[in-house]
Amino acid sequence: MTRVALAFSGGLDTTVCVPLLEEEYGYDDVIGVTVDVGQPAAEFDEAEETADALGLEHYVVDAREEFAQLCLESVRANATYQGYPLGTALARPVIAEAILEVAEEQDCTGIAHGCTGKGNDQLRFEAVWRSSDLEVIAPVRELGLTREWEQEYAAERDLPVEGGSGGDWSIDTNIWSRSVEGDALEDPNYVPPTEIYEWTDNPSDETEEIEITFENGYPVAVDGEEYEPVALIEYLNELAGSYGVGRTDMMEDRMLGLKVRENYEHPGATTLLNAHEALEGLVLTQEERQFKQQIDQQWSQKGYEGLIDAPLVGALEGFIDETQQRVTGTVTIRFEGGQARPVARDSTFAAYSAEHASFDTETVGKIKQEDATGVAKYHGFQRRLANEAIAANAADEDDE
């Protein structure tokens, strides 16, 4: 008997994939796998109810702790893509690995997803799965299905989907971010209603300050109270979200070259990333900060591509680990006007001296202010020579 494991959400795409895998691909048995990376409870209820209605053998895997740890690794790398924290991108490899484990445990010969051929997720899932010996199947992509065709197919087969749409927006949620796209949002000139937001309130005049503690680049406590990764992220999502922190409305460049309108909510992620970068600014040298920007950009790009296990990432993390040994201390964040703004930072590793930087002291340690005169004379010397040569040559041409 041939079996295939399907990444299963209970939505339209994955629901229609169940009969298609049997009828179009000849599989004797389909099993559904849903992976928990922090979705709302209602999504698991929907998946379970749909699986029961289909008579589908259904597995649920809790991967929240693994995913939360990866999110905190992304904080150490200041990971963003085109300005927003990576959420869906980091979740996909975690989900793919969990589904692959179930597929292998259940002696499946195939593994499938319901992604289209236009998005990023097909690439992120398959980057993991194609390292196995299982056949990789993508019915929606391979059969060229449209949402309209799927809705008609679901109606004809009396498949258990609510009208075949599940709502106006296409929403993806995990503990790190919530993305909203589709329908009217596909128009870049459309102003989205506030109803698309669930994690963030509209910013108000209220403010609050909190202190976040870091150890080796990892956030570990808020206002002195220690939290495990999942609880820490969930707590900051609720708190920062209540001040309207972490909304992004952008035109995103996908891996296949398409430009798409995306709306994101990421209050906890924004808070932690802002705090971490502020602490790095205190403890890292100028050269480290400049070079780490290149490291962070490469880490973020691989994270966006779903290639977080690439050898390059391991090499990048060698540098990140070295620098993060000193990213230990506290950062005070003020929530105001929809922002999570660092307003204070402290660390025993600070590469900073208030006495040296002060305008009220005459010297910088053993260095006298007049010692800077020689530096000032040399500063820009090559530029002056170049400009003199340019001017001289221009004058010669005018004389001719």
Q: Among residues of the chain, what percentage have pLDDT more than 90? A: 86
Residue 335 annotated in ligand binding: no
Mean pLDDT of 302-321: 97
pLDDT for the residue numbered 182: 84
Q: Hey, what CATH topology would domain 3-165 get?
A: Rossmann fold (3.40.50)
Tell me whether residue 179 is annotated as binding: yes
- 160-174 pLDDT, tens digit per residue, is 876 433 457 789 999
Cα(154)–Cα(162) distance, rounded to whole angstroms? 10
pLDDT in tens, 70-114: 999 999 999 999 999 999 999 999 999 999 999 999 999 999 999
- At residue 360, the pLDDT reads 63
The pLDDT confidence band at residue 365, using thresholds 50, 70 and 90, is confident
* Residue 189 annotated as lining a ligand binding site: no
Pick the CATH number of 170-284+326-346 from 1.10.150.120, 3.90.1260.10, 3.80.10.10, 3.40.50.300: 3.90.1260.10
State the pLDDT confidence band at 195, using cuts at 50, 70 and 90: very high
Q: Is residue 361 pLDDT above 80, yes or no?
A: no
Burial pattern 41-53, b for ≥16 Cβ within 10 A else e, equals eebeebbbebbee
Rounded Cα gap, residues 152 and 158, in angstroms: 10
Burial of 356 per CB tally in 10 Å (0-12, 13-18, 19+): exposed
> For position 359, what pLDDT does the model report?
60
The DSSP symbol for 305 reads H
Consult the annotation and say whether 235 binds a ligand: no
pLDDT at residue 24 above 90? yes
**Any binding-site annotation on 125?**
no
pLDDT for 355 beyond 50 = yes
Query: Is 84 marked as binding a ligand?
Result: yes
| Residue spans per domain, the chain | 3-165, 170-284+326-346, 356-398
What is d(CA 382, CA 386) in angstroms, rounded to the nearest whole number? Answer: 6
Sign of the CA dihedral with 147 first, then 149, 151, and 153 last: negative
What residues act catalytically?
13, 92, 121, 170
Residue showing tokens 């964040």 = 333
Predicted local distance difference test score (pLDDT) of residue 79: 98
pLDDT tens-digit series, residues 252-273 = 999 999 999 999 999 999 999 9
Category of 101 on φ-ψ map: left (φ > 0), alpha (ψ -120 to 50) or beta? alpha
Does residue 334 have a pLDDT over 80?
yes
d(C-alpha 230, C-alpha 175), whole Å: 8
